[in-house]
Amino acid sequence: MNVKLPEANNLLLVCLLTLVPVLADANTLERVRASNTFTLGYLPDYAPFSVQAGDKASGYAIALCLKIADKVKIELGLPGLQIRYQPVTATDEMSAVSSGMVDILCTPTPPTLERRKTVSYSVPIYTAGLSAVVRQDAPEALLNVLNGKVAHTGPTWRATINRGLVNQTFAATAGGVTEAWIRQQMRLLGVVATLVTVENTDAGLKLVAEGKADVFFAERMMLMNLLGTDDSTANLVLLERIFEYAPTAMAVDRDDENFRLLVDTTLSEMYRSGEIEQAYNHYLGGISDTAKKLFKVYAIP
């Protein structure tokens, strides 16, 4: 008896360890069915797209994710499906998806080629616009360049831009596509300036407000949201120019086409029914004619 018990225990341990890779490799819907839990990943300081609300979250992207959760309930026949809200950071958001810690990243991000190495993406849910914030007393030369008021012909164009940007301090959120875009522009134009990175949009606005940076580049809707709610930014101005546009989407498991199809089906149905437009109006302050046209392009027939 004393000899056989350890052997039995070892056999049980081997069986359990054998099951671990199976659970890890299970697709999203299988994992949700087994746990009766659908986990929404989100950035907690990304208003108006996703924001912490107690032990839950709210915002435009969260509203869309909850519609996807309703679809999952129907697909799996789980009316009592539990919704779990999992905050992530900008540095671990992609690994949270690829590791299965979250079932979907609700907060929209640009689907870059680098990110597609580890995750897949839904159809776009929002078209981001890159804008800039400066202080009200920003120098005219800087404002002219940022507003595009420099000659675009002749050999002096690059020099004119540099006169407006030289020795300035730019700020951007660390690790994002905006940081990469600014570095690329500085290289292309040969701009001698300083780029500092911050953790989030609040920190970037604070740098400019306190005179520690001259320009903060970030997503326009987020900038508008914070400038309209934070009194400490009263000395800041959001420029009208949009430097770049980028479709953004929800990140999902790279190797799970069935779940991605469910997500895209839900979003496409919301586009056609007008539900996304309603969410856009509610959380993002009204939809433009351009966004309406893009909605028709983004929806899969």
Q: Which residues contact 226 (CB under 8 A, 6 or more apart)?
A: 47, 201, 202, 205, 233
DSSP string for residues in 133-147: EEETT--HHHHHHHT
Q: State how far the Cα of 289 lies from the Cα of 34, in Å rounded to an integer.
A: 43
pLDDT of residue 150: 63
Which of 33, 58, 37, 63 is CA-nearest to residue 47?
Answer: 58
Query: In the prediction, which pLDDT does 299 show?
Result: 95
Q: Distance of alpha carbon 12 from its chain centroid, rounded?
A: 43
Say what the pLDDT of residue 149 is.
84
CA distance 240 to 89: 29
Q: Rounded CA gap, 264 and 285, in Å?
A: 24
Give the pLDDT confidence score for residue 17 in this predicted structure.
Answer: 45
Domains 24-127+249-287 and 128-245 share a fold: yes
Give pLDDT < 50 ranges for the chain. Answer: 1-6, 8-9, 11-24, 153-159
Residue ranges covered by each domain of the chain? 24-127+249-287, 128-245
Instruction: Return the H-helix or E-strand segment holding 107.
Output: strand 104-109
Measured over the CA atoms of residue 50, residue 56, residue 58 and residue 60, the dihedral's sign is: positive
Q: Rounded to whole angstroms, how far apart are CA atoms 89 and 9? A: 41
pLDDT tens for 78-113 read 999 999 999 999 889 999 999 999 999 999 999 999
- Decide if 181 contacts 130 (C-beta within 8 A): yes
Fold topology of 128-245: D-Maltodextrin-Binding Protein; domain 2 (3.40.190)
Residues contacting 280, CB < 8 A, separation 6+: 60, 286, 287, 291
Backbone angles phi, psi at 212, to 5 degrees: -90, -10
CA 192 vs. chain centroid, Å, equals 30
Predicted pLDDT at 11: 47
In 3-state terms the chain splits into helix, strand, coil percentages (rounded to 5) of 45, 25, 30
Name the phi and psi angles at 110, rounded to 5.
Answer: -70, 130
Q: How many CA atoms lie within 13 A of 192 on its CB side?
A: 5
pLDDT at 19: 43
Give the C-alpha separation, 191 to 173, whole Å: 20
Q: Which helix (H) or strand (E) holds 149?
A: none
**What integer pLDDT is reported at residue 258 of this predicted model?**
96
Q: Which fold has domain 24-127+249-287?
A: D-Maltodextrin-Binding Protein; domain 2 (3.40.190)
CA-to-CA distance for 186 and 194, rounded, in angstroms?
A: 9
